[in-house]
C-alpha cells in the first residue's frame, strides 16, 4: 500500500500489538483515529478526536510536549468529567445521555494501564512511606509525589490520597 499523507511520519497503517508497544500513547491514539475512520465508526472517531484535542490544548496551554504520564492524566481527567456528566444526566432523568457518557468512559479506559489491585496499592503505599521515612501529615506531599509517579493511571489518586492520609494520621 503506497504511503499517502504529508510525510509527517512512518506509515503505521498495519500496526500490530508489537508495534503499539513502541508507540507513545499519543501516537497510538492518532493511529486509532485513522483505524476508526477506516471502519467508519463515527462514535469512536469523535471520542478519540476529542481526546487528541484535549491533549493538544494542554500542550499549547503549557507550551510543552506531553509525555505518556501527562497524556494519561489528561485521559483520566476526561474520564472523571464523563463520570460526573453521567451522574448529572441520571439525576436529570436523561438516561440516554448518561449511557452515551458511560460508553465514552469505556472507550477511554482502554488507554489506561492495568489497574493496581488493592493489595498491590497497599504494598506500594507502605513501601513509599517506609522509603521516605514519612511519619506525619507534613510528609504527605512527598509520599503522594512518589506514589503518583508509580501509580499514575493505575489507581484513583483521590482514593490513594485518602489511604495515605489515614496511614499518616493514625
Closest to 68 (Cα-Cα) out of 130, 123, 17, 21: 21
Mean pLDDT of the chain: 88
Mean pLDDT of 86-106: 98
The overall longest dimension of the chain from CA atoms, in Å, is 64
- Cβ neighbors of 33 (< 8 A, separation 6 or more) are 45, 48, 49, 52
Q: What is the CATH number of domain 118-169?
A: 1.10.10.410
Per-domain residue ranges of the chain:
23-109, 118-169
Q: Which three cell numbers stand for residue 15?
A: 500496526
Q: How do residues 33-79 score in pLDDT, each as one tens digit? A: 999 999 999 999 999 999 999 999 999 999 999 999 899 999 999 99
Q: Do 162 and 170 meet the contact criterion of CB atoms below 8 Å apart?
A: no
Task: State whether residue 1 is helix, strand or coil.
Answer: coil
* CATH 1.10.1510.10 for domain 23-109: yes
Question: Of all residues in the chain, what percent are helix, strand and coil, respectively (each to 5)?
Answer: 70, 0, 30
Is the alpha carbon torsion for 86, 92, 96, 97 positive or negative?
A: negative
What predicted TM-score, i.e. pTM, was given to this entire model?
0.77
Is the alpha carbon torsion for 58, 72, 139, 164 positive or negative?
A: positive
Q: How do residues 125-140 score in pLDDT, each as one tens digit? A: 999 999 999 999 999 9
Amino acid at each position: 500500500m503506497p504511503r499517502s499523507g504529508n510525510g509527517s511520519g512512518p506509515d503505521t497503517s498495519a500496526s500490530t500489538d508489537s508495534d503499539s508497544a513502541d508507540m507513545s500513547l499519543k501516537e497510538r491514539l492518532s493511529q486509532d483515529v485513522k483505524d476508526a475512520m477506516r471502519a467508519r465508526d463515527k462514535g469512536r472517531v469523535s471520542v478519540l478526536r476529542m481526546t487528541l484535542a484535549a491533549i493538544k490544548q494542554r500542550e499549547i496551554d503549557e507550551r510543552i510536549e506531553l509525555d505518556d504520564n501527562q497524556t494519561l492524566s489528561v485521559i483520566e481527567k476526561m474520564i472523571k468529567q464523563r463520570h460526573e456528566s453521567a451522574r448529572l444526566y441520571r439525576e436529570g432523568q436523561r438516561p440516554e445521555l448518561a449511557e452515551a457518557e458511560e460508553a465514552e468512559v469505556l472507550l477511554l479506559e482502554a488507554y489506561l494501564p492495568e489497574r493496581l489491585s488493592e493489595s498491590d496499592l497497599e504494598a506500594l503505599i507502605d513501601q513509599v512511606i517506609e522509603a521516605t521515612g514519612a511519619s506525619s501529615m507534613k510528609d504527605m506531599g512527598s509520599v503522594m509525589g512518589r506514589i503518583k509517579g508509580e501509580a499514575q493511571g493505575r489507581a484513583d489518586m483521590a482514593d490513594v490520597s485518602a489511604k495515605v492520609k489515614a496511614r499518616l494520621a493514625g
